């Protein structure tokens, strides 16, 4: 059974929407998501707000789920060995929050199949779904770049714009009503 | 540069000594370490005390360092790419404690090289040092079984009894004064 390593931030969790919600809550300013296109993730908000939010207790725990991710991952698990692999070590407070977030929103994923790491070069899998070039670059299996505002200019990878496209690329069927 | 995946519990952290300290502190009974030889880890203490200690906040954070591990790992890092790989997902409270413990006792190991996981089948490395058959069994690289009371009967692996033997097996020199 082929193994897939699936990233969390910007792939399973909609971190960009969460940045904008936090920014609006703290500054009263509603940003147009369009202006974030092509900008590095750390620079989309002024005054280091992105890093500040990433270090805020509760930020990861309350992130919204990326539309379609639950249904498609459940379908993938019937055909593949699915591991969730998140680079979390830079933000120690995120470790438990990420685990609890997964238990809440993806209760069908066992703790056996969760990896919180620093560098993803250690990952042994056949397919990787990630929004970052730095994670996909060293991976020798099939690389799926999940579209995120920060990566729209990358052309080196097989691109998936959303979870419906992941399902199509990996040839699993998801009942239309579920996506 | 060859990559080594090093386990934490019973390899870098002396969890057995810690069980006995906790047991003595809570029950006033000092157990002879010799009686633990050959007994499965979960059964060395009565009344489910092992699992209870593993779930106790602070248990992992205060574990003693395995003698020689700091010096030998430092020496290994000059010759190998070292990753610390710990199966921690079963005990969510341990995640942050393990990271903080590493930062305190092994400050020379970067967060990039730390992996907290469930199953270790996902690990891509050339050498694995572990005290558990279940972790080494699926690993296709060189397997070093670190001696622990629960694994003394295993004969399938290249065995290292302590960190001095790890240094010898992996051909790194550690100044005598440092071990």
Q: In the structure encoding, which two tokens stand for residue A170, read together? A: 């990996």
What is residue B103's predicted lDDT score, i.e. its pLDDT? 97
Contact flag B117-A119 (C-beta cutoff 8 Å): no
Q: DSSP string spanning B32-79?
A: -GGGGTTS-GGGSSSTTHHHHHHTSTTTTTTPPBPTTHHHHHHHHTTT
Read off the pLDDT of residues B112-171 as tens digits, 9 standing for 90 and up: 999 999 999 999 999 999 999 999 999 999 999 999 999 999 999 999 999 999 999 999
Residues of A with CB under 8 A from a CB of B: 3, 5, 83, 85, 89-90, 92-93, 95-96, 99-100, 110-119, 121-125
**B44-to-B13, B19, B90, B161 alpha-carbon distances in Å:** 18, 9, 19, 20
Question: By residue range, what is the domain housing residue A106?
Answer: 3-14+64-178
Read off the pLDDT of residues B41-59 as tens digits, 9 standing for 90 and up: 999 999 999 999 999 999 9
Contact by Cβ (8 Å): B131, B145: yes
Query: Do B160 and B78 reside in the same domain of the chain?
Result: yes
A-chain residues near B135 (CB < 8 A): none
Query: Do A23 and A47 reside in the same domain of the chain?
Result: yes
Query: Do B30 and B88 reside in the same domain of the chain?
Result: no
Query: Do A79 and A163 reside in the same domain of the chain?
Result: yes
Interface test with A, best of B6, B60, B89, B100 (most A CBs within 10 A): B89
Name the band, by pLDDT with cuts 50, 70 and 90, for residue A175.
confident
What is residue B85's predicted lDDT score, i.e. its pLDDT? 98
What is residue B8's predicted lDDT score, i.e. its pLDDT? 98
Residue A162 falls inside a structural domain: yes
Query: Is A32 known to be catalytic?
Result: no
Query: Do A127 and A155 reside in the same domain of the chain?
Result: yes
Q: What is the distance between the alpha carbons of residues B75 and B70, in angstroms, rounded to a whole number?
A: 9
């Amino acid at each position: 059974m082929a193994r897939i390593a699936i990233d969390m931030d910007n792939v399973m969790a909609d971190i960009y929407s969460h940045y904008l919600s936090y920014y609006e809550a703290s500054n009263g300013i509603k940003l147009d998501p369009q202006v974030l296109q092509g900008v590095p993730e750390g620079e989309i908000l002024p005054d280091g707000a992105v890093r500040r939010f990433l270090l805020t207790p509760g930020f990861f725990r309350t992130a919204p789920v990326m539309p379609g991710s639950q249904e498609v991952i459940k379908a993938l698990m019937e055909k593949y060995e699915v591991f969730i692999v998140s680079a979390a070590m830079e933000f120690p407070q995120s470790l438990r929050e990420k685990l609890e977030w997964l238990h809440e929103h993806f209760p069908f994923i066992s703790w056996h199949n969760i990896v919180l790491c620093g560098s993803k070069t250690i990952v042994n899998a056949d397919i990787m779904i990630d929004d970052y070039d730095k994670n996909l670059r060293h991976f020798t299996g099939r690389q799926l770049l999940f579209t995120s505002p920060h990566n729209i200019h990358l052309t080196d990878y097989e691109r998936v714009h959303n979870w419906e496209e992941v399902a199509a690329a990996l040839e699993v069927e998801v009942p239309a009503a579920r996506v």
